[in-house]
Amino acid sequence: MIDKQDQKFGAVALIGATNAGKSTLTNAMVGEKIAITSHKVQTTRFQIRGILTHENAQIVLIDTPGFFKPRRKFDRSMITAAWDALEDVDIAAFLIDVSKPYDEQKQSHYLDKIIQMTEEENRILILNKVDETPKKRLLEIAAKVNEKCAFDQTFMVSALKGTGVSDIIDYCVKKMPDGEWPYDVDDLTTVPSRLLAAEITREKVYARLHQELPYKIAVETEDFKPADNGKGLAISQIIIIEDKKHKSIVLGKQGQTLKSIGSQSRAELMDIFQCPVHLQLYVQHRENWMDKDEAFTVFES
């Protein structure tokens, strides 16, 4: 254990457009899965805080919802959560997926906001998926972005493969201010277990039904407690849909789709919590659920 007088503590916010790889990078830096990932856009819906303890530093990693054009109350709340993450952090890390065409007009909006809310010495640029991008284009994108908004340092990584991630960690450790660690050395996230469990199931729903279901779906953990037999956990969850016709899709023929989702979620939950898990899933229709205040309380972090 590092002596308290030698400890460093601070926070890093990971920001950027949807599907930039923020959740994948968060998981890679923490070393364990604490944020769900999906090809579906806007997967992260609230600030997920990972805890990285490395050498003499403890760092809170804030994985934020991606930036997109909000249409509803729930969407606007997600965007607010992303920008709120820039307040009181020691480093703002801006991620760009360089495997996609660089949209200068779209990125300009984000960069203007970053300039307003941060100082150059407190921000870094992370170009993600460099393994899928020619080096010449990487350099061109890095130059364009830094011309618009100067960053203290630019990193080129593959969050999925882990390439370059250690360089970011080393940089962040050096930049953290002195401060005692508020978390145990083994803590990996501040996300409540019942919320993490809901997120894991939501990921499995997306993986199984990403073509059939729209973005408007959520999972709520209704019950999270020790099993009656004293062995492991008993978890009850509701898969919330806004359109009645989607219920049959989630259930599948004779309930086989829901059973498959539950099986996959249960397997990962047992791995995360390191104990037996009894998981019950239900499907519930709630009209215009994401425009109601209750939608926000479910995703409080």
Give the model confidence (pLDDT) of 13-38 as tens digits: 888 877 788 888 998 999 887 776 65
Percent of the chain at pLDDT > 70 equals 82
- Specify the 3-state DSSP secondary structure of 3: coil
First and final C-alpha spacing in the chain: 28
> Can you tell me the distance from the alpha carbon of 129 to that of 224, in angstroms, rounded to the nearest whole number?
37
State the chain's mean pLDDT as an integer.
84
Domain parsing of the chain, residue ranges: 4-175, 193-298
Q: Report the predicted TM-score, pTM, of the whole model to 2 decimal places.
A: 0.71
pLDDT at 195: 85
Q: Pick from 294, 194, 286, 272: which is nearest to 236 by CA?
A: 194
4-175 and 193-298, same CATH topology: no
Q: Is the dihedral of CA 103, 28, 271, 188 positive or negative?
A: negative
| CB neighbour list of residue 104: distance below 8 Å, 6 or more residues apart | 144
What letters, b where the CB count within 10 A reaches 16 and e where it falls short, cover 114-143? Answer: beebbeeebbbbbbbbbeebeeeeeeebbe
pLDDT, tens digit (0-9, with 9 covering 90-100), for 100-154? 988 888 788 788 888 988 899 999 999 999 998 999 999 999 999 999 999 999 9
The more confident residue out of 292 and 248 is 248
For domain 193-298, the CATH class is alpha beta
Q: What are 114's two structure tokens?
A: 């970053």
CATH topology of domain 4-175: Rossmann fold (3.40.50)
